[in-house]
Chain A
Amino acid sequence: MHRYTWKIGVLQVVMLGVAAIFLFPIYILVNTALKPEGDRSSPLLPPASPAWGNFPTAWAEANLGPALLSSAFVTVTTIALLVAIGSLAAYPLARITARWSPFVYYGFMLGLLVPSLLALIPLYSTFRDLGLLANPLALVILYAGGQASFTIFLYTEFLRAVPRDYDEAASIDGAGRWKTYFHVVLPLLRPITGTVIILNAVFIWNDFYAPLLYLSGSPAQTLPVAMYSFTGTYEVDWTLLFAALILGSLPMLAAFLIMQKAVFRGYASGLKG
């Protein structure tokens, strides 16, 4: 039963087909990005002489440099904020067992229930009135609120599973709430912080709707909007577009490949919730 039987062999062949389904689009992507200008040969055949120059051209023409900086700024700033406000809120939510605490917790979880689209339109006029349109800070504020419920949920559920003894011992030793938070609670939360960072980073980095509304056309637009705007109004130049798509995807793909284990753990941990 546990040997490499013929059934496993059949499965192996099937999975070879599955792998092809996932590799084929990647092949098309790279292949098309490397076609010399005006090359009208079949997209299925590799170019005779790969035009590596497409990458620097696409980088410059799609303004990927500024977009990369903007994306990095929004993602890093928001996640730092989320880790701070999320872990702060989780401490009382996980530890206080007063009659009102479940209601407060549900209140903080409301953000999980209401789809962000309902808030995005009124927020557009608020940001406009505050002069925050075209400012990446608008996205930081939006995501810090929009992802707060999810972040607090991960932190609170995790902390509830940790015995109170650790932080109660600190209190007995005379540490105040803040001291206990910094010296005991925060270190205890380190394992789940990896998951918080990964899941929020993938969402924020890839989000398209909010930056399309708030930053479109501005120098501060993030990578997804920059890549989208690159198509222009005329006929699509697939070669340069695909070169831009590859460059725009590399940071996240590289991060994933480096931190595979943590990423898989993060996605799978949705289970325990």
Chain B
Amino acid sequence: MLKGNSTLMVDTNAALSPPKVEVRSADPEESPRKPRQRRAQGNLWALWFLLPAGVFLLFSVAVPSVQGAVYAFTDWNGLSADWNFIGLENFADMLSDPLARTAIFNSLLLTLITTVGQNVIGLLLALALSSRIRARGFLRVLIFAPCVVTPVVVAFLWQYILLPDGPLNGVLNAIGMGWATQTWLGDPQLALISISFVILWQMSGAVMVIYIAGLQNVPDELLEAAALDGAGPVRRFFAVTLPALRPAVVIATLLCIVGGLKTFDQVWVMTRGGPGVSSQVLSTAIYQTAFLRGDFSYATALALVLALITIIAAAIQQRVARAGTED
């Protein structure tokens, strides 16, 4: 505790000179208020260590986020000097705007599909790769590799594969499943689902890696005890493995939810939100509104909606995660 109480003088020069020894103990007759003051002063060194990160956070995150939240209630177009507060008008407009409504719905749908999908696929792959099959190392590298590849690259690749006369339909025709061919990205009913599956293909490997690490925390002796008690593999999985995986599930779902809600690259490259607005998500709608249509304030209103959805979804997720541990 004492060492935390060096004076400000010392700290600014600390790199150059050795610190002076404690001053406080020299005066035991201080009033009760004074030590706290001293202690606060003693922690002043923290300011210098926190300052650089604080400056960047303020400039690039805090200030513009607050600005964005304010612009959402104005009619600012991004350029003009004069603008007015228009209250909730931007938000009221969303209710009758097919772009905004589709984008909000699609962001939620895409996040649901990718979060559930990545976790189920990631867990199954992790279980398979934690078994005694051969070539585990190779499979792990192969399945994870797409996660580090630029999403733009993966999106272009799959855009080509999913063309009406592209490789996927080609394979389906070749193996006698011509009835299953689709215009994967050109069908308004299907475009967003197809994009979700591309994201699953690319990103499930990351969740798999989290679960492989989590599986190492599953106590072997419990599994063996359960087996001796006559529990089958399914029973063992739900009674022993899954509870031990809880921290992995919590972090993986949180990452998937946050990542899913801000999805942009795959949608923008593969469909630009089309056909029509059928595959628009919030991030693409924001980009289009702000930079192609020049409506800054409406775009920030959409961004504020995205921020609120993200915060609420994360809060619900944490709530559910915590409620589970109390059972």
With A12-B133, A117-B283, A174-B18 known to touch, is A268 a contact of B213 (CB < 8 Å)? Answer: yes
B53 lies within 8 A of A89 (CB): yes
Which residues does chain B contribute within 8 Å of A271, judged by CB atoms? Answer: 210, 213-214, 247-248, 251
B142 lies within 8 A of A22 (CB): yes
Within 8 Å by CB of A144, from B11, B60, B156, B214, lies B60
**Any B CB within 8 A of the CB of A86:** yes
Which residues does chain A contribute within 8 Å of B166, judged by CB atoms? Answer: 43
Which residues does chain A contribute within 8 Å of B116, judged by CB atoms? Answer: none
B283 lies within 8 A of A122 (CB): no
Which residues does chain A contribute within 8 Å of B286, judged by CB atoms? Answer: 117, 121
B304 lies within 8 A of A177 (CB): no
**Any B CB within 8 A of the CB of A162:** no
Which residues does chain A contribute within 8 Å of B64, judged by CB atoms? Answer: 118-123, 126
Of the listed residues B3, B14, B65, B261, the one surrounded by the most CB atoms of chain A closer than 10 A to its CB is: B65
Which residues does chain B contribute within 8 Å of A176, judged by CB atoms? Answer: 6, 10-11, 13-15, 17-19
Please report the C-alpha to C-alpha distance between residue A141 and residue B61 in the assembled complex, in whole angstroms: 10
Please report the C-alpha to C-alpha distance between residue A178 and residue B258 in the assembled complex, in whole angstroms: 37
Which residues does chain B contribute within 8 Å of A117, judged by CB atoms? Answer: 262, 282-283, 286, 303, 306-307
Please report the C-alpha to C-alpha distance between residue A76 and residue B145 in the assembled complex, in whole angstroms: 22
Which residues does chain A contribute within 8 Å of B320, judged by CB atoms? Answer: none
Within 8 Å by CB of B150, from A22, A113, A212, A223, lies A223
B247 lies within 8 A of A242 (CB): no
- Closest residue to A143 on the B side, CB-wise? B60
B149 lies within 8 A of A123 (CB): no
With A176-B17, A241-B156 known to touch, is A168 a contact of B53 (CB < 8 Å)? Answer: no
Which residues of A (1-42) have their CB < 8 Å from a CB of B? 1-4, 8, 11-12, 14-15, 18-19, 21-25, 28-29, 32, 42
B49 lies within 8 A of A92 (CB): yes
Number of interface residues of A (CB under 8 A): 103
B150 lies within 8 A of A125 (CB): no
Which residues does chain B contribute within 8 Å of A15, judged by CB atoms? Answer: 128-129, 133, 135, 139
Please report the C-alpha to C-alpha distance between residue A148 and residue B299 in the assembled complex, in whole angstroms: 25
Please report the C-alpha to C-alpha distance between residue A171 and residue B310 in the assembled complex, in whole angstroms: 43
Please report the C-alpha to C-alpha distance between residue A250 and residue B58 in the assembled complex, in whole angstroms: 35
With A8-B131, A208-B151, A253-B149 known to touch, is A98 a contact of B61 (CB < 8 Å)? Answer: no
Please report the C-alpha to C-alpha distance between residue A167 and residue B132 in the assembled complex, in whole angstroms: 44
B157 lies within 8 A of A12 (CB): no
**Cβ contacts B275-288/A at 8 Å (1 or 0 each):** 00000001100110
A227 lies within 8 A of B60 (CB): no
Please report the C-alpha to C-alpha distance between residue A176 and residue B14 in the assembled complex, in whole angstroms: 5
**Any B CB within 8 A of the CB of A163:** no
Please report the C-alpha to C-alpha distance between residue A116 and residue B307 in the assembled complex, in whole angstroms: 9
Please report the C-alpha to C-alpha distance between residue A245 and residue B154 in the assembled complex, in whole angstroms: 9
**Any A CB within 8 A of the CB of B184:** no
**Any A CB within 8 A of the CB of B158:** yes
A145 lies within 8 A of B150 (CB): no
B161 lies within 8 A of A25 (CB): yes
A264 lies within 8 A of B144 (CB): yes
Given contacts A121-B71, A121-B296, A177-B6, 16 further A-B contacts (CB under 8 A): A12-B134, A23-B142, A42-B170, A89-B53, A110-B61, A114-B61, A118-B64, A120-B64, A141-B59, A174-B18, A176-B10, A176-B11, A202-B148, A206-B149, A227-B150, A252-B148
- Residue pairs across A and B with Cβ atoms less than 8 A apart, 26 shown, are A2-B132, A8-B131, A12-B133, A15-B133, A15-B135, A25-B201, A85-B56, A91-B49, A92-B46, A92-B50, A108-B53, A110-B57, A114-B61, A121-B286, A122-B68, A148-B56, A148-B61, A149-B57, A152-B53, A206-B151, A223-B150, A227-B150, A249-B153, A255-B148, A268-B209, A271-B210
Question: Which A-B residue pairs are the 8 nearest by beta carbons?
Answer: A145-B60, A176-B14, A268-B213, A92-B46, A178-B15, A119-B64, A122-B67, A145-B56
